[in-house]
């Protein structure tokens, strides 16, 4: 049988068509698998972040309300008022101490009461060091989230009697549930990172952030330009939006990042994973 030039052309064209069809099918399958994995991850990241955000908002909100409730206790107000009138009133001082000493039994790790001149009237427990990383909460700037290998909520509340400020109460409460939620991210992947941030009081376009990855926790300052407020996950969260997107993170690395805001606390959160790790199973399969 003689093979003509036309036969060779047909064979070559047929081979090229088959190769093209194979490549097209491969890319179609790849894109379908990529979209499916990305959709599943989007839902997973969003669900995980929403759960963490709800826990933080609920527990911190309760801690702030508990501290504020102390400033309304009649006996505490009474004894503080008596000491403001006579700092040497031993009976009022002892009564105030008894009230304050009992507060560690209802969840507070440390409490201190000051008079209107910032003199200590009573104290129980040991406060965390001022050198620990701090994220300032709410627009009032009287509540802080402190990291000391465990989350600690510090709240300062003025004590008012008959429309007059007679002093203030400062409390600290350890938050083990929030600590576990912050630390428990290993199942998300080797490159997963969880960020909790707030605007710096004196620099509104600078964020103070606690960043958790599978091996460490670090404290960092991240800049946010005015242009980024409508384009980046952290910028979108700053203006009260939530969602998930593909983007470049602060390292310049492509990631899938979920973001949300907690406006009542002045916090934003993001949870992200490197795209390289996300699509590694597909890429490895294509290499086989």
Domain boundary assignment for the chain: 29-57+185-283, 71-177
In CATH, the number for domain 71-177 is 3.30.450
The answer to whether 272 touches 255, Cβ cutoff 8 Å, is yes
Q: Could you report the per-residue pLDDT of 211-262, keeping only the tens digit for each? A: 999 999 999 998 876 666 667 888 889 888 999 988 888 788 889 899 999 9
CA atoms within 13 A of residue 187's CA, in its CB half-sphere: 7
Mean pLDDT within 2-22: 52
Mean pLDDT within 77-85: 95
Provide the H-helix boundaries in 88-209: 90-101, 176-183
| C-alpha to C-alpha distance for 182 and 237, rounded to whole angstroms | 18
Q: Confidence class of residue 189 from pLDDT cuts 50, 70 and 90? A: confident
The answer to whether 217 touches 147, Cβ cutoff 8 Å, is yes
pLDDT at 68: 95
Q: Which two structure tokens, joined as six digits, stand for 19?
A: 């190769």
Q: Which residue has the tokens 């991240």?
A: 222
Of 10-19, 111-120, 188-197, 201-210, give the lowest mean pLDDT range.
Answer: 10-19
Q: Confidence class of residue 284 from pLDDT cuts 50, 70 and 90? A: very low
pLDDT at residue 10 is higher than 60: no
Q: Which two structure tokens, joined as six digits, stand for 212?
A: 């958790």
């Amino acid at each position: 049988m003689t093979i003509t030039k036309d036969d060779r052309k047909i064979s070559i064209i047929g081979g090229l068509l088959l190769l093209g069809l194979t490549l097209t099918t491969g890319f179609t399958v790849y894109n379908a698998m990529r979209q499916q994995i990305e959709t599943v991850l989007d839902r997973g990241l969003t669900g995980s972040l929403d759960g963490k955000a709800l826990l933080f908002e609920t527990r911190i909100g309760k801690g702030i309300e508990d501290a504020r409730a102390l400033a309304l206790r009649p006996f505490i107000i009474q004894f503080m008022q008596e000491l403001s009138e006579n700092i040497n009133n031993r009976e009022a001082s002892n009564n105030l101490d008894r009230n304050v000493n009992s507060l560690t039994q209802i969840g507070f790790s440390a409490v201190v009461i000051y008079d209107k001149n910032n003199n200590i009237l009573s104290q129980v427990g040991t406060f965390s060091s001022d050198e620990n990383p701090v994220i300032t909460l709410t627009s009032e700037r009287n509540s802080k989230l402190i990291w000391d290998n465990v989350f600690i909520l510090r709240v300062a509340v003025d004590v008012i009697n008959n429309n007059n400020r007679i002093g203030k109460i400062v409390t600290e409460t350890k938050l083990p549930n929030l600590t576990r939620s912050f630390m428990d991210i290993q199942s998300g992947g080797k490159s997963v990172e969880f960020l909790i941030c707030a605007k710096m009081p004196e620099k509104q376009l600078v964020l103070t952030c606690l960043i958790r990855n599978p091996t460490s926790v670090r404290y960092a300052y991240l800049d946010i330009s005015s242009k980024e407020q409508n384009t980046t996950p952290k910028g979108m969260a700053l203006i009260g939006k939530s969602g998930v997107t593909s983007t470049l993170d602060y390292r310049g690395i492509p990631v899938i990042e979920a973001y949300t805001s907690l406006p009542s606390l002045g916090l934003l959160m993001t949870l992200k994973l490197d795209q390289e790790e996300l699509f590694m199973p597909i890429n490895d399969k294509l290499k086989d």
